[in-house]
Each structure stands twice: as C-alpha cells, then as structure tokens.
Structure 1
Amino acid sequence: MAEAYLTQQLSLQSAALVEATQRLVQTPSPNPPGDTAAVARVAKELLSGIKNVEISEYETGPGIVNLVARVTSGTLGKRLVFNGHLDTYPVSGVLAENCDLWSGELVITLAGDEESGGVLGSGWLLNNVDIVRGDAVVNADVGSPRVVRFGEKGTFWVEITAEGVAGHSAHVHNGVNAIDRLRGALDAAQSIERIPFESPREVTEAIENAKHVSEAISGDGESRTLQTITFNVGVIQGGVSPNLIPSKASAKCDLRLPVGVSIADVEAHLREQLDPMEGISWTPLQRYEPTWTSPSERIVQSALKASKEVVGPTGLDSVVNMRVGGSDTRIFRLAGIPSVVIGCTPFGMGAEDEYVLVKELEQVAKIQALTAYDFLRK
C-alpha cells in the first residue's frame, strides 16, 4: 500500500529530519525583534533539496522574511498548504519523489511573523500570494501527534486605565486612589466569565469525546477551559510609594473566547460595565475571533486517520479537539479555508531548555505526509 511505502521512506529519512530540525533550532530567530533572515536562509537551503520545488521569498518588513515553496504532481487536483513558523520544517520531499501517487499540489508557507500576530507573515502571504490560498491547511504548531486540533479560542487583549487624584495617604479625604478604581474596573470586566452563550453541538461533543485523551496530555481541566471565557490580568502598573495616593493605574488583560462568543460580545460587555465608571477608560490591544473547522471536514478526517495509523493503539486513541492557544490557522479559517493543527508535545514551553521528543518529531512528519497523501490521492 502507498501509505506503508511512504511511512517506510520517512523512517529511512529520520536522521535527515532530526538534522534539519537541529539546524533550524540552532539558528536564532527570536521575536522580538523578529528578524528571520538567517533562519530563512537555512530553511531555503533545506527546501531546495526537494525535487522540482519552486521557492519564493518575501520580505514584508525589516528582517521579516517569509518563504513559500510549491511542489506540483503534474496533474490537476486540490491544493494542500503546509503552514508553519520559520522554526518548523514540514516534510514534503517523500511526496515530491512519488508524484504518481497523488494529484494537485503541495505548498509550504514558512511565516516570519507568527508571534506578532501574523500580519506580516501568514496574513500577508494569504492576501498577496495566490498559491497560498489552498483547499486546506495543515499547521505543525505544538500539541500532540495523538490530537488533531480543528479550532481554537478567540483572543481579546485590553488595557484598562484608571485616573485618580494624587495626594498623601495620611489625607485620603483629599485624594482619589486610581488603583482602587482599577480594582473595581477589573472585577467588572472579569464578570464577562459569567455571560451566557451557546457553542455549536458539533464543537461541544468533540471536546467532551476527546477529554479522556486530550487531558491526559494537556492537563486536567482543559475541556472546561475550552468551553469557558477566561480572563487573565497579566500586567498591572500604578503608584510610586505606599504613602502616596496614586493618580493613575493601568492593567493589561488577556481574554480567551470559546466558540459561541464573539469580539462584539466582549466589546459590548466592556462598554456596559466600564463606560459608566468614573475615571475609567479602556483600549483594545489585540483581538481575534474564535475559529473552527467542522470535524467532519475531509482534512480533519485525513489527519485523524493518519494519526491513528502512525501512533497506533497505546491505551489512548487518537482524537479531534479544539485548541486553547492560538496559531496562524485562524487566519486561514477566517478566509474560509479548512485547517488543522497537529504537532509535537511541548515540554517546558516558553522556558529555558524547551524541547520535543525525537520520536514525536518523526511521528508528526509521517502524519503530515499521510494526511497529504489521503487528501490529495487520485
């Protein structure tokens, strides 16, 4: 069978996959400042080894380099897009060597601006490069080879500012404490966690059906987090001394929105709760709607099938689920393109010595190849 052949070929290329990943990880590309020129050169060299590949490079800002690579089967068919950061490397060389097994084309987009919201990365590519608009997208952001993520929560960042009247703390009757006002405003804003909403049944059923597998990987309570509005105060500033009444205070907050809650809902709540409060103002900093692809879509089922074939039964089955974190797939979903995320489990994510398992790196490469084959097969 073609699936077994492709898996075997990927197993033979395991050492090359690990070496390619090491080269990419060893090349600095932190954001900020967001300079991806060096890692783009490495990625371009790696992509150049794919048979009959066409590579384009786009610098959309100082040092923000994006790469787009295309491999065509030579026959008409669908277009599948592999989307990732410039520190990932989707494996398509195996499929490029066996164009007779599939039709259509594969496109690889390596964005240089994911951590800053994707405006100059995947968003720019989707709006300016025709071949980036495919029939489906596979993204290799972190997760688990056993969980196919078909959607993600929305994001709303807001800065809330409180104005008061300065004075000495011994004479509180002559001042107005801005931090006290801010505390009240934060409580009012956080009450959004209790507003009623309804998610599509297809989404809630998928979350519940995935709970026993997904929470074993991502932690107890994930399914509840996926189905609730969360409010986190990440930054607070105000005051200079304990014996002075602060005249100004501010906080930056992160709200995550499940499917069924819109940006308009959040803004309406903040206007209702905060606008009448004296000395309080608020400003949105970043906002993205929740997005999801139906679990019944072909790309989701192809990825699920591939995950089951590669990972196999080990006490936990492969499942489909939503995602608590964000990725560039939201950009494609908002453009009407079905998209999934399936990647390695992150260990120590965001901390020193963050790592993934070589075994899972190999599994994800196989899952991506088999997903592409199943989606594009003749």
Structure 2
Amino acid sequence: MIQNDNDLENETAKLIEMTQAMVRLDSQTPPSDTRAMADLAAGFLKDLPRIKLTFYEGEAPVMNLVAELDGGLPGPRTILSGHIDTYPVGHVADWTTDPLGGEIRDGRIFGRGSADMKGAVAVLIAVMRDFANRGTFRGSLVLALAGDEERMGELGTQWLIDNVPEVKADGVLVADVGGPRAIRIGEKGMLWLDLRAAGRQAHGAHVHAGQNALDRLIDAVTALREIEELRPTPPEDAVAIINAASAVEEADGPAARETMTRMTMNLGVLQGGLTANLVPSEASAGIDIRIPIGLSTTTVHQAVSGILANHPDVSWQVTRSYEPTWTASTSPLAQACIRAAKKALGGQIWMDGRIGGSDSRLWRRAGYPCIAIGLTPSNLGSPDESCEIKELRELKQVYTAILERLHIDGG
C-alpha cells in the first residue's frame, strides 16, 4: 500500500499520540493493574467495522483484552500478541524525564514502557485499524493484549491460552523488544529458585555459640555457580542462525551473543540478619537461571539438585520453570516474516535468538509457531527508557508487510 508524505505524517502522529497516551497510564507490575490500559486500547478500536472486543480478567487486577477481526474470506488465523504492563519505574529521582510523561526529546518518546512495549502495542493497534478499514481479506486477525508479562505472564497470556478459544490460531507474532530488523525465532529458558537456610542466633562476638544462616546460604549460592559450566548441544538450525547473526553489524554484539548461547545465573535477592553484631538464624535468596537452546530444565534441575545435596542446611524450591524455545527458520511463518521485512525495509534483515524472556515462550509451549519482532530497547527496565519514533513507523511497515503476505498475497 503506497503512502504519500501526508499519509506518513498522519500515521506517525497517530502512533506518537497512542504511545504517549499509553505511557501516561501507570501499569507497573506489581501489581499489574492493566484495566485502564485495556480500556484505552479498546477505545482506539471500538468504532471500527467487524472488530469484536472482549475483556478477560483471570485474576484481579490483571485485565486482558482480545480483539478479533474476521477478514470475511477463508484463510489463516494470526495472533498479534503484546503485553500492556511494565517494569516498575524504580527511583523517580534517577529519571531525567517524568517516567509516566511520554516526553518527546531528540526523536524519541521517553517513559516507562515506551519501548517495552507500549510503542509496539500502538503499532499493533494501528495495523488492526488499517486491516479493519481495508474490506475483505483472507482469514482473521486476533489482537491479544495481556498483563502480568513482567511477572512471567501466567495471569496474562498464559491465562488466555488456557481459557479463551479465540486465541487458537495458525501462528503468533509477538511485538516484544528486539528491533524491527531482527526476526527473533527463539529464546532462552529459565529456572527460578528460592533458597532458604536455617542457623542459630548468637551474639556476633560469640560466633562459636551460633550457626550463621547467611554463611551457609552464601556457600550454597557460590557452589551453584558450577551450573554455568553446563554446555548446550543446540540443534543445527539454531547454530546456523545464531552464527549467521553474529556476522551482522547491526545485530547483538559479542557480549550479548555470548550471553545468549551459554548458561547464566543471577543472584537477584539475598536477605538475612538483623544487625551486624548478631549471628543470623535465617537467610533467603532468589536466583534466576537462564538456559540456552540445547539444554533442558530437567538437566539443569538435576545439576542443581546434585550441588545442593552437599548443603543439607539449605532448602530450595523451583518457583518458575520454562524450557528454551525455538521456531524453525524454515517454517512458513519465519520465512514469511524475513521476506516481508526485507520487502518493507530493505537493507540488512536477519533471523536471531533472543536473550530475555517474552510471551513467545508461552505460545511456543502451547504448540504455535511464534516470531518476536519489536522495537529496539533503550534503557530497558532502567531510568529514561525510550523508543525511537522512526522505529515506530518501521515496525508498522514490517507488520503490515507480514500480514499482507499471510492474509492478502497468500503466504
């Protein structure tokens, strides 16, 4: 669809307006109160022909929105997936802009969720609006906007998968961060652990009379670093794609690529003790283990169990468990995405894996081919998060080209 300069200017203005409006709504997780965001998104779509809007609240305050658009002709069913919650703002004093202000500066929109992923949600809404105004097309589109993603999505996208027949489809496009030129076809898995150690309290000068729970816990956590030595055996397709992406100048750099392909462990929470001059009787830790393609949660779980068996004073449990996931580069959906993106943007377009988690893993676990294409993150989860306005236009061009290929041109 050819656009003149006025069309592009109006389209950009609308994308900016929607992104700013969403950034100005507080939807931090926790508590993942996404009702206002769902209402706003529905408002952008409610007056359009053939769109059916349904709100789903699996567990308060997480509100999810599903928008269905029937093209009127036989054809595939494609889900456009996005999350409408954000990371916490953090310390407001660390921001140079209002974190819920949506300020425009140097060609960027600033605010929590601007890149991850309210700007991309604006793109998905704009694409749905365009297709609703086109008339008939092959198959149908389903926009699934969910909360709770920053808490792993069990009350958001996973709840929709488990309970809503409308989200059954032939393929899924997730607009989470990664850059509009990168076709993300896989991501790491994860195993989250909660560790607890018990000891005996005593005066800090009388360490012989106590048992230090923090010491016991730190010893166990240090021993767990051994799991980073586990080596994956990824499938040939993943090796070929990730190696090819490493040669792309615009792709993730060497440090990020090394992280993408190996085991990592992050000690995110460590708690214990009352004061420096008391031996602590209790301590706890939260650990995030990320698992590359070519290893399984079972293998990692067994390794953790073997290590912690040598630390009997430390109890532990798994709080999150997700396998690494991969959609074959040769799949019809992946091929449609790469070809459409090249047609839309020209220049360098590549397939790649993804370091962080997204709702893609939930869709793939449910059996759907799934591709993630979103905005390039700037200060992801940090102060002064922002997205580039130019990329909003580019991402819309990519999604439009993909859906035209799937639902108008025939694949």
Q: TM-score, normalised by structure 2?
A: 0.85
Q: Is the 8 A contact 1:114 1:328 kept in 2?
A: yes
Q: Is the 8 A contact 2:53 2:65 kept in 1?
A: yes
Counterpart for residue 122 of structure 1: 157
Counterpart for residue 132 of structure 1: 167
Q: Matches of residues 277-288 of structure 1 in structure 2 within 5 Å?
A: 277-288=311-322
Shift of 1:365: 1.1
Shift of 1:180: 2.1
Q: Is 1:347 matched up with 2:374?
A: no
Q: Is 1:363 matched up with 2:394?
A: yes
Rounded to whole Å, the distance in 2 between the matches of 1:198 and 1:7 is 50
Counterpart for residue 326 of structure 1: 357
Counterpart for residue 65 of structure 2: 67
SS state at 1:78 partner: strand
Rounded to whole Å, the distance in 2 between the matches of 1:320 and 1:31 is 30
SS state at 1:77 partner: strand
Q: Matches of residues 3-14 of structure 1 in structure 2 within 5 Å?
A: 4=2, 13-14=11-12
Rounded to whole Å, the distance in 2 between the matches of 1:128 and 1:243 is 53
Q: 2:140 aligns with which of 105, 110, 126?
A: 105
Counterpart for residue 270 of structure 1: 304
Shift of 1:302: 1.8
- Partner amino acid for 2:35? A
Q: Matches of residues 35-74 of structure 1 in structure 2 within 5 Å?
A: 35-74=33-72
Q: Is the 8 A contact 1:146 1:319 kept in 2?
A: yes
Q: Matches of residues 1-378 of structure 1 in structure 2 within 5 Å?
A: 4=2, 13-86=11-84, 87=118, 88-89=121-122, 90=124, 91-100=127-136, 102-213=137-248, 216=250, 218-313=252-347, 317-377=348-408, 378=410
Shift of 1:251: 1.4
CA 1:176–1:6: 2 relative to 1, 3 Å: farther
Rounded to whole Å, the distance in 2 between the matches of 1:312 and 1:356 is 21
Q: Is the 8 A contact 1:10 1:365 kept in 2?
A: no
Rounded to whole Å, the distance in 1 between the matches of 2:4 and 2:325 is 32
- Partner amino acid for 1:149? R
Q: Which moved more, 1:168-177 or 1:196-205?
A: 168-177
Rounded to whole Å, the distance in 1 between the matches of 2:56 and 2:8 is 30
Counterpart for residue 94 of structure 2: none
Rounded to whole Å, the distance in 1 between the matches of 2:30 and 2:384 is 19
Shift of 1:334: 0.6
SS state at 1:352 partner: coil
SS state at 2:74 partner: coil
Rounded to whole Å, the distance in 2 between the matches of 1:8 and 1:139 is 29
Q: Which moved more, 1:47-56 or 1:194-203?
A: 47-56
Shift of 1:339: 0.6
Rounded to whole Å, the distance in 1 between the matches of 2:129 and 2:314 is 56
- Partner amino acid for 1:63? P
Q: Is the 8 A contact 1:172 1:245 kept in 2?
A: yes
Shift of 1:337: 0.4
Shift of 1:40: 1.3
* Aligned-residue CA RMSD (Å): 2.1
CA 1:374–1:11: 2 relative to 1, 3 Å: farther
CA 1:78–1:121: 2 relative to 1, 3 Å: same
Q: Is the 8 A contact 2:81 2:175 kept in 1?
A: yes
Shift of 1:8: 9.8
CA 1:76–1:176: 2 relative to 1, 3 Å: same
SS state at 1:277 partner: coil
CA 1:272–1:360: 2 relative to 1, 3 Å: same
SS state at 2:13 partner: helix
Shift of 1:144: 0.4
Rounded to whole Å, the distance in 2 between the matches of 1:8 and 1:200 is 47
Q: Deviations over 1:310-349 (max 9, x none)?
A: 3322xxx111111111111111101110111111111121
Q: Is the 8 A contact 1:299 1:371 kept in 2?
A: no
CA 1:157–1:266: 2 relative to 1, 3 Å: same
SS state at 1:362 partner: helix
Q: Is the 8 A contact 1:145 1:311 kept in 2?
A: no
CA 1:64–1:169: 2 relative to 1, 3 Å: closer
- Partner amino acid for 1:334? R
Q: Deviations over 1:76-101 (max 9, x none)?
A: 1110110001342302222233344x
Counterpart for residue 89 of structure 2: none
5+ residue gaps, structure 2: 85-117
Q: TM-score, normalised by structure 1?
A: 0.92
Q: Deviations over 1:273-296 (max 9, x none)?
A: 112323111121222111111111
- Partner amino acid for 2:11? Q
SS state at 2:151 partner: coil
Q: Is the 8 A contact 1:6 1:370 kept in 2?
A: no
SS state at 2:72 partner: coil
SS state at 1:251 partner: strand
- Partner amino acid for 2:13? A
Shift of 1:52: 1.9
SS state at 2:150 partner: coil
